[in-house]
Structure formats: C-alpha cells, structure tokens
Amino acid sequence: MFFILLVLGLIFLAYIFRQVLVIGKSCKSNAKLHGKTVIVTGSNTGIGKATAIEIAKRGARVILACRSKQRGEAALQDVKRESGSNQIVFMQLDLGSLKSIRSFAENFLKSEPRLDILINNAGVVLVGRTEDGFGTMFGVNHLGHFLLTNLLLDRLKDCAPSRVVTVSSTAHNWGRVDFNYLNTHKDLREGTSFWDSVMIYGDSKLCNVLFTHELAKRLQGTKVTCYSLHPGSIYTELARNKSSFVQMVLKYMGMYFFKNAVQGSQTTLHCALQEGIEHLSGRYFSDCTVRKVFKKAEDDAASKKLWDISERFCGI
C-alpha cells in the first residue's frame, strides 16, 4: 500500500512540475486583430508557425517571412487551413543576407500599407558565415533582425500603437559581447565545437535583449513599444543542424522536459497582444511575466555600442 501511495505521489509531483515549470502560463489576451498586419519571421515551423496561426485566427493579415520558398509555401497552406483565414501571405526573407532583407523590406513597403506588429522570431544554432561574412548566429539571430526592424520602423510608427517583439532566450544569461572580437572578426567568439555553438548562441541572444533595451529608448514618444522574451525550453527544428545523436537526445527529453510549439508561443503572443504592458517597453519576459535581467543585459553603454556597430555593419 505504501509503495502504491509513493508511486501515485511521484506521478502527481511529476504532473505538477510539468504543468507549472515546463508548460507554464498562457496568453490571456482576447485582442482581435481585424485590419492589422503582422510579420512573423521564421514562421514556417515551430513556435513561429504556431504564433502565425494564432495571430491569423484573431483576424490579422499575417506575413510569413521565411528563408525557404518551398517550406514557406507549404507553411502558407498549413496556416491557412489551421487558422481558417485567407489573409496569409508568404514573402521570402533570408536573414543571413543583407541584400535579401533590403529586398524583403522594399517589397513589403510597396505592397502592404500597414505594419502593426513585427515578430522577430527566427533563429539558428549553426556555426559558419553568412553571405556577408558575419558569424551565422550573430548575422541571423541579431544583425538580420536589427536591419529588418530599422527598415520597417517608419511604417510601424505610422501605424502606432504598434509593437516589435524579439524572441530571445534564457541562454542570454550566459552570453557576453566581446566588442573587440566582433570588430575584428565580425563574430561573437571563436570556436566550432558543439559547446562553442551553445556559447555563441547565448551571445546572440544577449544581443537580442540589448537590442530591445536600446530600441525602447529610441522609440520613446512614438507609441511603438518593444519587448524581448524567453519562450521556454522547446523541442523544435532549432536543432535541425545538429547531429542525429543530439537530435535523438533532445527528442526523448522533449517528451517531458520541453514545451510543444503552441505552449512555446504563449509568451510571444503575450508580448504581441497583451493590453496594458506598454509601460514595460524594452523589458524582458518569460512565462508571460516581465522578469529582471542581469546588469549586462540592461547596460546602456553596451546596448548603444552594439547598436552603433550594427548600424556600421548594415551600412545604415
């Protein structure tokens, strides 16, 4: 009898752990988005796709901004079917190419009269170089979104109140930005091993938080607000470039310790839709709640320095 009670107690504790610490909170906003336009980068898979579906269900015109034409067009059909909306558009965007980003922005501004929410969701864990010579994770996870946001800022201001939501990660806590190395190597740090990629990923996610911190200061008085966030631990295609062994380990861990894509999209949706958080512009969210960050993630000098070097790298 004791053994049965012990097993039942462990099952109950495991259930509570998963519900509270893994799955977490859900977006409570009932906001409708009819007449609004939303861009979601990296929306052909994972939390980006789940975010796009929910945004579309609320009546918005959704732009799926994805690198792969084939995967983007397949996602277009999925999002239309699952949301029941025909107000979905695929537009090709390679965040690892400054030329592609400029082309996307030009096409978007010519064809779409509104932009109400920009969701910088796309991200990679991949060591290498972009076509412009930047470290892949710095170039895609930070620099690409930095340029995209800046090219679309005037449209966001015209449609204010509007928002910029950037998906970061709790990995930013172990990140650092070595500006000397960044200046000389156009990357965040040296190394190509799995561990190196994990560390560089954290660096790029710290860039996301610093970018949002600085952007908020520059947007004061415009009614455009911005937020960065940790979506939770999620098993999505972010690890698709890793070895089959790493993918297998993550898959089995994911059965219990990771959120699914819908659960992982909730904090993004909270930052994009929740009423009354405008005064928290520039802040970092996790589990649909604003969180304190380490001093390095709200360092005014570092955020300005990152902004300046990003402008120089982008030629703006």
Paired sense of beta strands 289-291 and 284-286, if any: antiparallel
The catalytic residue among 15, 181, 201, 284 is 201
Report how far residue 58's alpha carbon sits from residue 278's, in angstroms, rounded to the nearest whole number.
20
Looking from the CA of 19 toward its CB, the CA atoms found within 13 Å total: 6
Cis peptide before 161 (omega within 30 of 0): yes
How many Cα atoms are found within 13 Å in the side-chain-facing hemisphere of 179?
A: 10
- 87-107 as b/e: b if 16+ CB within 10 A: bbbbbbbbbbbbebbbebbee
Cα angle 291-293-295, degrees, rounded to a multiple of 5: 155
Paired strand residues for 176? none
- Would you call 201 a catalytic residue per the annotation? yes
**Residues with catalytic function:** 201
